[in-house]
Amino acid sequence: MAKIQISCPSCSQIGMIEVSEDAVKNVSRGLLAVNIMARTICEHSFIVYVDINLHVRDYFVADFQIEIPDLPIPPSEKIRDMQLPGKDVVDIDLIKLNMPAILLTYILKSIFSKQKIVLISDQEFLYNHITNFFNYITKDTFDIDVAILTSDNYNQNKKQYKEYMIFEGINIIKNMKKLINPKKLWVEKHIVSRFLTEPELGYSYIVLKNEIHKAYELSKSIVEAIKESRKDGEKENILKITGEIEDFYKIKIGSLYLNFLIEIIQTYFDVAVPTVVESFFNSL
């Protein structure tokens, strides 16, 4: 067993954990995700990501477990038959090792909110990989506008990016309309965690792409149902509409995920939705 010193991302308390060397060796590429339960280091639970050299690469606070509806996803043995980007186009190792989990969470939230994005980074060798990565995972779903700039380039051209969400490392430089509340990114964090914890690189692509496709497909279906209801002059009932969507896809949409979809409907599709579940979410 290998001992690794870690620091809680919530309270900064330091402690030691033991990780099986075999488990690390099996992660020939990418990161090993270790779930730290409450009272292991402190009262908080979180995930630590460790590379093959036993270096801590990232931390991720696990708020709580949520239920995500399942839509069909290709089994891992079929991934080889799919046209995934080559390593020269997108090096997923570089993405996982250099893009912090919370930054990826912020970017997903911005994409779901139809916001233009600027990433400030001086790691120019990553630019094409990051651009191709986001183009691939959002293909045929959400429209995206992601610019990657050096800090000097951004500082010289700030006026061009007044209407952009701007991120540098794990920091939010500009939060348009205060769309990002780091304490309420439950679904986005779950999606990112699934991507990062999947050891098979090709499958991790598909997991992430599938989650994004699911969010788009379900929110778009609800939008179409709302518009149809309005056209027919019916009184809107988001829960009734959601029930019909559940029946169609043979899934269960929990309250937290429904709120996540409603936010996409309102911010990406620009369709007002009756907030019939508002009291539930205000209590969280």
Question: How is 111-137 classified by DSSP, letter by letter?
Answer: HHTT-EEEEE-S-GGGHHHHHHHHHHH
Span 26-42, pLDDT tens digits: 665 557 778 888 889 99
Per the DSSP assignment, residues forming a β-bridge with 48 are: 34, 59
* Total-model pTM: 0.82
- Alpha-carbon distance of 218 to 249, in angstroms, equals 9
165 touches 174 (CB < 8 A): yes
86 touches 58 (CB < 8 A): no
41 touches 81 (CB < 8 A): no
Mean pLDDT by groups of 10 residues along the chain of 284 residues:
88 90 64 82 86 83 73 53 78 84 95 97 93 94 96 95 94 93 89 82 85 94 89 77 90 91 96 61 42
Span 66-91, pLDDT tens digits: 778 887 655 544 444 566 788 889 98
276 touches 236 (CB < 8 A): no
Find the helix packing angle between 255-267 and 201-231, rounded to 10°: 70
Ranges of each domain in the chain: 2-61, 76-186, 212-282
- Tell the residue number behind the tokens 């500082």, with chain if given: 155
For residue 3, give the 3-state DSSP assignment: strand
Per the DSSP assignment, residues forming a β-bridge with 117 are: 146, 165
